[in-house]
Amino acid sequence: LSPGVLSRFRGALVGSVLGDCIGGEFEGAVDVPLDRVLQHLGALEDETRGDGILQYSDDTAMMRCVADSLLTRMAFDERDMARRFAKEYNLAPGRGYGSGVIQVLRKLASPHLKDVFQPAQAQFGGRGSFGNGGAMRAAPFALAFKSRADVCKYSRLGAMLTHSCSLGYNGAALQALAVHLSLQGALALPKEFINKLISEMEEMEKDEKAQLDAKALNLSEFPYCSRLHRVKELMDRNSVSIEEVISELGNGIAALQSVPTAIFCVLHCLEPRDGLPERFGGLERTISYSLALGGDTDTIACMAGAIAGAHYGIDSIPQSWQKSCEGVEEADDLARRLYNFYCLPQFEE
Ligand code: R7I
Ligand code: MG
Ligand code: MG
């Protein structure tokens, strides 16, 4: 039975928070044996462990700012969103932000700033960041906007507040599109799902700025498309090792090395997999598998969790996991409010 739309909305944002909180344990680890992942997840079910709640990081902190801004302004308002990022960073600077983005967040706090996109453009010698910080917080755009064109447009603009390199903001659009398609049930046909993402990215990567950035960074002409083609190849194989996934797709802090990887985690875990408990549903498999890749685990699990949560719905998420993570109730509330917003008629520009 396929979950209802509200259940999918809630699954998306709660799944994202869970990935961040649960994945934080292994962020930066090079080698994460599946045993350790299952041990970590097993501890969530043990109510006597008493080691308190798993805290969320910058991924969730910024996702909440995006959702709050879209809901309060009932549209994309770059100044409001920028102000929320800066205020959130100021209130809780210790959530594990990327080392570059901190400079942007400090500049965004200035009341005299005229152009809120300018601080991001000054990053990394003027090319802007290609980190995954735009993508990690992109899920609310998929819930707020009805058309694929709007999801693309606003998730890119929202990412540009901190990430002005095309690899950074196109990665955010890819993540938002994956969540958007998943909300519509598109993962029922995995091949079509990936083909749709490839054709959307082909359009985005034709762009002049995208072509220039790819060249300057010594990448192939259509970097996201070529990664997504690799995802497709890996889907066709009978068995894929963790090492192959890491070498083909990456597990790093760059959006290019983590957004296609998160999408692969979801696709790979649509079916039961060796080494993962049989009692696990798809969302549990997806999060476990994302952790086992190591690298930027909180962010890859956060992005995979959002896509998987949109597919399986809120009821697929174990209560014990929800209770172990900080910010789940708030994410659930934001998802319900975004659902109400989505149900309103939206005006064409
Ligand atoms: O992208 P960003 O917000 O970081 C997100 C990550 C997630 O894993 C979070 O969970 C958190 O841990 O951080 O922050 P940025 O500082 O913009 O980018 C992250 C890192 O990517 C930077 O600190 C750089 O190491 C690297 N990076 C670059 N390095 C060289 N040249 C990003 N862009 C560049 C670049 O153009
Ligand atoms: Mg983080
Ligand atoms: Mg991270």
Confidence of residue 81 (pLDDT cuts 50, 70, 90): very high
pTM recorded for the entire structure:
0.97
Helix (H, G, I), strand (E, B) or coil at 90: helix
pLDDT of residue 349: 46
Distance 172 CA to ligand 3 centre (A): 14
Q: Can you say whether residue 233 is alpha, beta or left, with left for phi > 0 and alpha for psi between -120 and 50 degrees? A: alpha
The residue whose CA is least distant from atom 33 of ligand 1 is 129
pLDDT at residue 28 is higher than 60: yes
Instruction: Match 């259940």 to its residue by tokens.
Output: 7
Residue to mutate, 89, 127, 218, 253, ligand 1, most ligand atoms under 8 Å from C-beta? 253
- CA-CA-CA-CA torsion sign (249, 252, 257, 259): positive
Determine the Cα–Cα distance for residues 63 and 138; give it in Å rounded to an integer. 7
DSSP one-letter string for 172-240: HHHHHHHHHHHHTTGGGSHHHHHHHHHHHHHHHHHSHHHHHHHHHTT--SSHHHHHHHHHHHHHHSS--
Q: Scan for tokens 């008629």, then name that residue.
A: 345
pLDDT at 31: 84
Per-residue pLDDT tens over the stretch 114-147: 999 999 999 999 999 999 999 999 999 999 999 9
* Token duo for residue 251: 């597990």
ipTM for the predicted complex comes to: 0.99
Beta bridge partners of 147: none
Nearest CA residue ID for atom 31, ligand 1: 124
Pocket of ligand 1 (CB under 6 A): 57-59, 96, 98-101, 124, 127, 129-133, 136, 165, 253, 296, 298-299
Measured from the Cα of 104, ligand 1's closest atom is 17
CA of 200 from ligand 1 middle (Å) equals 25
Report d(CA 77, CA 111) in Å as an integer: 16
Q: Is 150 in a helix, a strand, or coil?
A: helix
* Beta-bridge partner residues of 131: 254
Q: Which ligand is nearest to the CA of 95?
A: 2
